[in-house]
Chain A
């Protein structure tokens, strides 16, 4: 059923055991994003070192999709350089906009392909993108320092 395509086991795992949740006290950039339609909020701290994401931490409230998505994203980008992370981000955004027609490139997106089902539920795409957009904003802000 469609619901199981949305709530894959890996999503519920990340939701119950979120990665990199809890804000680190040092960072180059801190951003706060909200989803005004539902009240979900995220604060994300990012540290860059020589063009690489050396640290990323976050805290927030939200549904399983938004929380799992930011957890998966954190796992994916930490340790990568900004350009490689950008490829992941673009690939994820493309997947979310695919209206259920794409399954996602597992080599690039790894666990994030489990969120492919979200693209069939227009109201939930913003949930899945909340943390990713916060990350994008934080990179911009940290790079401009």
Chain B
């Protein structure tokens, strides 16, 4: 496996030519929040607006045809990228919407005798929709706990996922800890009791090869903007028979088959779930983004991040007073690393790093129950992508040591 030519790849990203805070080189370590965009993705959006813009699936003219074609080719690209069928790909505005779509569509299928299982490490976007579904239906919400190492405690799996469990919603890779969850055991148990497995893949689709058939899951959600794609486009993949069975969530134009003043019937999936004129330019941009990632190779991206993640953890571990929050071993973990540093509050550390041109995320990372459980009100998070290299890690380490001098020893 040849290694990535990071310097060459970075040339595809116009943002890396700008400087930060009085001429500092941009050290972007916040791809877990959103990734930067290559020129080909920016061009795809610009081209759509400049050449093909019209309302897809509406109108009898050439532009409408071209817009439809552009959007539907993206659907095929997404399907191929995930190893699913083209009719199993629903475009939404975000992964958050994908998960809410499921939670709302399942409302009429869940009763007070049912249970929904999540984990303690969920992003709010894969916790609150289920918490509120439980609230609406009277169902019980249960969750896998997280141990101090930042791994899921599976010891109670048979007591958590039981005959009354209808939904198991779980993150593939924690956006805070970098932990990659052991899906095999969870999927096996969920299917044993007849529950569906919904995977929040926001932090895995951009970073590793994913095949929904191999994972044997039932639904998957991810967002375009974390996978070098545009903002405003998310994906929901679902098994065709499940999408067929689920009622729609948003009602309106183009999701119908017939309409009278008092009733309506629905178009087949995925159209049933795509009411309104879609975010076409963004969908087209997402297609370009996944093509870009495929060209590099997801396996190469994954290996690069694991190797760089190991280097990041090794260097962070050498700093006195720094505590890594999450797994320290690279086994089943990606290149997202959260940490605390003595008494220096993450906001202050983040501010100091920003002054050096280093972009990190600070706070509870939209996973408040998790940070509370781990006893840290907030952390600093560095999240790596394929366009990062050792020089970015070195800059971060130097920045952290500088912050120690600036704020006084922790």
The residue of chain A having its C-beta at the shortest distance from the C-beta of B344 within the complex is A64
CB distance from A58 to the nearest CB of B (A): 16
Comparing B230-238, B270-278, B305-313, B363-371, the segment that makes contact with chain A is B363-371
Q: Which chain A residues lie closer than 8 Å to B378 at the CB level?
A: 38-40
Mark out the residues of chain A between 35 and 93 whose CB falls within 8 Å of any chain B CB in the assembled complex: 37-41, 61-66
Comparing B7-15, B42-50, B166-174, B346-354, the segment that makes contact with chain A is B346-354
Q: Which chain B residues lie closer than 8 Å to A39 at the CB level?
A: 363-364, 368, 371, 377-378
The residue of chain A having its C-beta at the shortest distance from the C-beta of B347 within the complex is A63
B407 at the interface (CB under 8 A from A): yes
Establish whether residues B347 and A65, one from each chain, have CB atoms under 8 Å apart when the complex forms: yes
Query: How does the 8 Å CB contact mask read for B113-144 relative to A, with 1 for contact and 0 for none?
Result: 00000000000000000000000000000000
Chain A contact-residue range equals 20 to 34
B191 at the interface (CB under 8 A from A): no
Establish whether residues A38 and B364, one from each chain, have CB atoms under 8 Å apart when the complex forms: yes
Complex Cα–Cα for A41 and B362 (A): 15
Chain B contact-residue range equals 10 to 19
Q: Which chain B residues lie closer than 8 Å to A12 at the CB level?
A: 407-408
CB distance from A54 to the nearest CB of B (A): 31
A14 at the interface (CB under 8 A from B): no
Complex Cα–Cα for A61 and B346 (A): 12
Mark out the residues of chain B between 355 and 410 whose CB falls within 8 Å of any chain A CB in the assembled complex: 355, 362-364, 368, 371, 377-378, 406-408
The residue of chain A having its C-beta at the shortest distance from the C-beta of B355 within the complex is A3
**Given contacts A38-B378, A39-B371, is CB(A62)–CB(B345) below 8 Å?**
yes
Establish whether residues A41 and B377, one from each chain, have CB atoms under 8 Å apart when the complex forms: yes
Find the residue from A16, A39, A63, A66 having the highest chain B CB count within 10 A: A39
What would 29 A/B residue contacts be, using CB atoms closer than 8 Å? A2-B355, A3-B355, A6-B351, A7-B348, A7-B406, A7-B407, A12-B407, A12-B408, A16-B408, A38-B346, A38-B362, A38-B363, A38-B378, A39-B364, A39-B368, A39-B371, A40-B347, A40-B377, A41-B377, A61-B377, A62-B345, A62-B347, A63-B345, A63-B347, A64-B348, A65-B347, A121-B351, A124-B347, A124-B351
Interface on B for A, CB 8 Å cutoff?
A: 21-22, 345-348, 351-352, 355, 362-364, 368, 371, 377-378, 406-408
